[in-house]
């Protein structure tokens, strides 16, 4: 019998009952109701089973024993625009200012597998990223940047295997063998069908190309991450944190399954799978999400897939602060949002981090804006004393409760996806896309009704008028310059070699040979990205998305 006069909890609850509360929803960003207080009863954890030590199964507390004492996270700012030469300049600027890894943004034609001079590329060349149509362009991109001395991430999906081939061939031309290459190629096609929509061919042939990449790199480029299994795009498309977690890991498990079905030993390719998450506005939910991700993945890899190598159990991830949290109104506020989101990623144990620039709702970032974004990470690392202790929020009743909750919600989704036949059938039926769309619409309604506040947009607004900041402008001559480069390339290269290599690609599509190897040979023969992708589209067909609305 609880003595309500003296039991502290009962007293506190009674006090709550009587008290005024301010207006507002007390939920996570994803809409999950939050308690006013979390106590030990809310955080059911067995330290050894559920938390453990950094660098040990289940890795909830981090994938490395020393975490940031051993080495800080990589500060890896996404960059790319215009021509390879222009991006090369920005790369070198960032490296000179203390960036520790490169991350390449490509333009839409490149992302969709079209050359800069394709008629579908008109108006889009160099606008949201760098235009790379050939090995020559790739060489220019890394001019004065030795590939054995940097780690490079390439954010591309549909044509990723071809771009990776260009990178490997570029290394070869620099005299750097593939074994020395470090970096990541995003190459996560499942989330493309679900969220970002930059696909090249339908799912089955796309997944075959991915297993070809996994197989080739396991032997020849063992330090290169072959997939960055991404939740960022799923989140940015409107999903909740639980959905981001669930769909990302479900995709990851699908890749693992396919690697095994392709005849590979899970431990040969799993260590090179990496992840990429969003760090959104809800500070505690995000930290909990990162911890849940590590724990779930470790358990699945060891217990479901039977991986033996601890490296196969470790979920290593890159984080980007949430683009959708930025506002066009009062853009300087975005610096604050990004800083807090970056902090969440650090407290969540990310291996590498990109911080958004304040002007990105309006255009690609200016040099000044991207420098502030970089400095944000540096200040967090150097000034706020948060990188000395691994997994500092462990043991918080709130954070452990949230970690458990997110894990449980993810498991529910895994079951549902299984019930519906797996990831690809869910994509074809539009299930995942519809879940994401529904969350997106809910969020929009919450903002419009005012129940979700956004400073500068529906609260603390400052009226109409364009923000007074300088914006990055793309040089209009880029498209013309690329056309000229391509014209020169096409006229100077060995046409017979091009035809021969493209034919070899076509054959490999049909006979199951490793496509990445064929792409590397084609790259050396100066076949363009568009030419190779055209062969793939012809051989494998074009993908058409299902009806979602």
Partner 1 sequence: MDRKIRVLIAKPGLDGHDRGAKTVATVLRDAGMEVIYSGLHQTPEMIAEAALQEDVDVVGLSILSGAHMSLFPRVRAALEERGMNDVLLTGGGIIPEDDMQALEGDGYSKLFGPGTPTDSIVGWIKNTMAERWEKEGASDA
Partner 2 sequence: MGSEGTHTAAAGGPLRTPAELAEGVRGGNRRALSRLISWAENDQPGFAEALGAFYGDVGRAWRIGVTGPPGAGKSTLVNELALALRQDERDLDVGILAVDPSSPFTGGALLGDRIRMDELTADPKVYIRSMASRKSHGGMARAGVDACDVMDAFGIDRIMIETVGVGQAEYDVMAACDTVIVVMCPGAGDGIQAMKAGILEVADVLVVNKSDRPGADRLYDDLVEAVHVRDGRATADDGWTVPVVRAAAGRGEGADDVLTAVAAHRERLEQLGLANVRNQKRTAQVRRIVEEALERRVFAQADMNAAIAAQLAEGHTAYAVADSLLGEVTVSLSAQVTKLSPDAKP
Strand order across the beta sheet in which 151-155 lies: 78-79, 102-105, 151-155, 182-185, 224-225
Q: Read out DSSP for 498-547?
A: HHHHHHHHHHHHHH---HHHHHHHHHHTT--HHHHHHHHHHHH----PPP
Q: Mark residue 310 as left, alpha or beta (left: phi above 0; alpha: psi -120 to 50; beta: remaining).
A: alpha
In whole angstroms, give the CA distance from residue 501 to residue 413.
44
Window of 163-171, 174-182, 478-486, 539-547 that interacts with partner 2 by CB under 8 A: 539-547
Residue of 79, 94, 170, 198 interacting with partner 1 (CB under 8 A): 198
**Cβ-based neighbour number of residue 408 at 10 Å:** 11
Positions 360 through 399 that interact with partner 1 (CB under 8 A): 361-364
> 79 φ, ψ to 5°?
-150, 150
Which of partner 1, partner 2, none interacts with 429 (beta carbon under 5 to 8 A by kind)?
partner 2
Which of partner 2, partner 1, none interacts with 328 (beta carbon under 5 to 8 A by kind)?
partner 1
Q: Rule CB under 8 A: is residue 415 a binding residue for partner 2?
A: no
Please say which residue, 32 or 327, places its beta carbon nearer to partner 1.
Answer: 327
Window of 93-101, 215-223, 233-241, 287-295 that interacts with partner 1 by CB under 8 A: 233-241
Q: What angle do CA 342, 343, 349 make, to 5 degrees?
A: 95
Which of partner 2, partner 1, none interacts with 361 (beta carbon under 5 to 8 A by kind)?
partner 1
CA neighbor of 173 nearest in space, from 184, 165, 161: 165
Least gap, CB of 425 to partner 1 (angstroms): 21
Q: Rule CB under 8 A: is residue 440 a binding residue for partner 1?
A: yes
Window of 104-112, 188-196, 284-292, 541-549 that interacts with partner 2 by CB under 8 A: 541-549
Positions 328 through 367 that interact with partner 1 (CB under 8 A): 328-329, 361-364
Please say which residue, 422 or 467, places its beta carbon nearer to partner 1.
Answer: 467
Which of partner 2, partner 1, none interacts with 441 (beta carbon under 5 to 8 A by kind)?
partner 1
Least gap, CB of 487 to partner 2 (angstroms): 28
Q: Rule CB under 8 A: is residue 20 a binding residue for partner 2?
A: no
Least gap, CB of 478 to partner 1 (angstroms): 11
Q: Which residues of 90-100 are buried (b: 16+ CB within 10 A; e: fewer)?
A: bbeebbeeebb
- Strand, helix or coil at 384? coil
17 exposure class (CB count in 10 Å sphere: 0-12, 13-18, 19+) = exposed
Residues counted in the chain:
549
442 exposure class (CB count in 10 Å sphere: 0-12, 13-18, 19+) = middle
CA neighbor of 75 nearest in space, from 95, 105, 96, 101: 101
Q: Rule CB under 8 A: is residue 419 a binding residue for partner 2?
A: no
Window of 201-209, 323-331, 377-385, 529-537 that interacts with partner 1 by CB under 8 A: 323-331
In whole angstroms, give the CA distance from residue 110 to residue 132.
6
Please say which residue, 18 or 476, places its beta carbon nearer to partner 1.
Answer: 476
Q: Rule CB under 8 A: is residue 274 a binding residue for partner 1?
A: no
Listed in sequence order, the DSSP H helices in 19-159 are 84-96, 108-111, 135-141
Least gap, CB of 202 to partner 2 (angstroms): 9
Listed in sequence order, the DSSP H helices in 270-396 are 283-299, 310-313, 333-347, 367-382
In whole angstroms, give the CA distance from residue 511 to residue 233.
33
Counting Cα atoms < 13 Å in the Cβ hemisphere of 110 gives: 33
Window of 269-277, 285-293, 420-428, 456-464 that interacts with partner 1 by CB under 8 A: 456-464
Which of partner 2, partner 1, none interacts with 188 (beta carbon under 5 to 8 A by kind)?
none
Q: Rule CB under 8 A: is residue 547 a binding residue for partner 2?
A: yes
Q: Rule CB under 8 A: is residue 219 a binding residue for partner 2?
A: no
Query: Mask 421-440, x = binds partner 2 (CB under 8 A)?
Result: -------xx-----------
Residue of 196, 226, 319, 357 interacting with partner 1 (CB under 8 A): 196
Please say which residue, 153 or 194, places its beta carbon nearer to partner 2.
Answer: 194
**Cβ-based neighbour number of residue 522 at 10 Å:** 29
Biggest alpha carbon–alpha carbon distance for the chain: 92
Please say which residue, 202 or 323, places its beta carbon nearer to partner 2.
Answer: 202
Q: Rule CB under 8 A: is residue 236 a binding residue for partner 1?
A: yes
Number of residues that bind partner 2 (CB under 8 A): 8
Least gap, CB of 436 to partner 1 (angstroms): 8
Please say which residue, 190 or 266, places its beta carbon nearer to partner 2.
Answer: 190
Least gap, CB of 547 to partner 2 (angstroms): 5
Strand order across the beta sheet in which 74-75 lies: 74-75, 352-354, 317-321, 273-279, 227-230
Which spans of this chain sit near partner 2 (rule: CB under 8 A)? 428-429, 544-549
Which spans of this chain sit near partner 1 (rule: CB under 8 A)? 108-109, 111-112, 114, 120-124, 127-128, 192, 196-199, 236-238, 324, 327-329, 361-364, 437, 440-441, 444, 447-448, 454, 456-458, 466-467, 471, 474, 545, 548-549
């Amino acid at each position: 019998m609880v003595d309500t006069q003296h039991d502290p909890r009962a007293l506190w609850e009674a006090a709550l009952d009587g008290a005024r509360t301010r207006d507002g929803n007390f939920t996570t960003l994803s809409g999950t109701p939050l308690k006013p207080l979390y106590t030990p009863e809310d955080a059911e954890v067995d330290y050894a089973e559920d938390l453990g030590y950094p660098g040990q199964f289940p890795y909830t507390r981090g994938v490395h024993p020393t975490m940031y004492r051993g080495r800080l996270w990589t500060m890896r700012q996404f960059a790319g625009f215009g021509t390879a030469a222009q991006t090369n300049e920005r790369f070198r600027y960032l490296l000179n200012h203390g960036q520790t890894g490169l991350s390449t943004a490509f333009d839409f034609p490149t992302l969709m597998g079209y050359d800069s001079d394709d008629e579908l590329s008109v108006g889009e060349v160099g606008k949201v990223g760098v235009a790379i149509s050939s090995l020559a362009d790739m060489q220019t991109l890394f001019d004065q940047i030795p590939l054995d001395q940097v780690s490079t991430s390439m954010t591309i999906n549909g044509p990723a295997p071809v771009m990776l081939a260009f990178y490997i061939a570029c290394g070869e031309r620099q005299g750097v063998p593939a074994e020395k290459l470090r970096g990541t190629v995003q190459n996560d096609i499942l989330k493309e069908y679900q969220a970002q929509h930059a696909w090249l061919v339908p799912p089955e042939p796309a997944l075959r190309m991915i297993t070809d990449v996994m197989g080739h790199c396991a032997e020849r480029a063992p330090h290169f991450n072959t997939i960055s299994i991404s939740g960022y795009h799923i989140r940015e498309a409107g999903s909740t944190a639980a959905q981001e977690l669930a769909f990302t890991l479900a995709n990851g498990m699908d890749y693992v399954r396919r690697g095994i079905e392709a005849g590979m030993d899970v431990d040969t390719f799993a260590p090179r799978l990496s992840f990429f998450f969003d760090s959104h506005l809800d500070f505690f939910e995000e930290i909990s999400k990162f911890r849940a991700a590590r724990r779930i993945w470790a358990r699945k890899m060891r217990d479901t897939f039977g991986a033996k190598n601890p490296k196969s159990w470790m979920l290593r991830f890159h984080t980007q602060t949430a683009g959708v949290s930025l506002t066009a109104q009062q853009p300087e506020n975005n610096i604050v949002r990004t800083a807090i989101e970056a902090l969440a990623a650090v407290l969540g144990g990310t291996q590498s981090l990109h911080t958004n620039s304040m002007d990105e709702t309006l255009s690609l970032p200016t040099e000044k804006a991207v420098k502030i974004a970089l400095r944000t990470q540096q200040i967090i690392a150097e000034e706020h004393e948060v990188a000395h202790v691994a997994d500092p929020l462990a043991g918080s009743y709130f954070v452990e409760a949230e970690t458990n909750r997110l894990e449980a919600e993810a498991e529910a989704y895994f079951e549902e996806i299984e019930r519906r036949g797996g990831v690809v059938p869910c994509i074809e039926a539009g299930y995942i896309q519809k879940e994401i769309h529904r969350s997106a619409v809910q969020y929009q309604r919450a903002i419009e009704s005012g129940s979700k506040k956004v400073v500068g947009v529906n609260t603390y607004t400052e009226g109409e008028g364009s923000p007074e900041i300088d914006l990055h402008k793309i040089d209009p001559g880029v498209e013309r310059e690329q056309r000229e480069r391509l014209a020169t390339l096409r006229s100077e290269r060995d046409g017979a070699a091009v035809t021969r290599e493209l034919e070899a690609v076509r054959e490999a599509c049909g006979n199951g040979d490793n496509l990445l190897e064929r792409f590397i040979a084609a790259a050396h023969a100066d076949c363009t990205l568009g030419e190779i992708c055209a062969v793939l589209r012809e051989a494998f067909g074009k993908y058409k998305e299902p009806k979602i609305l």
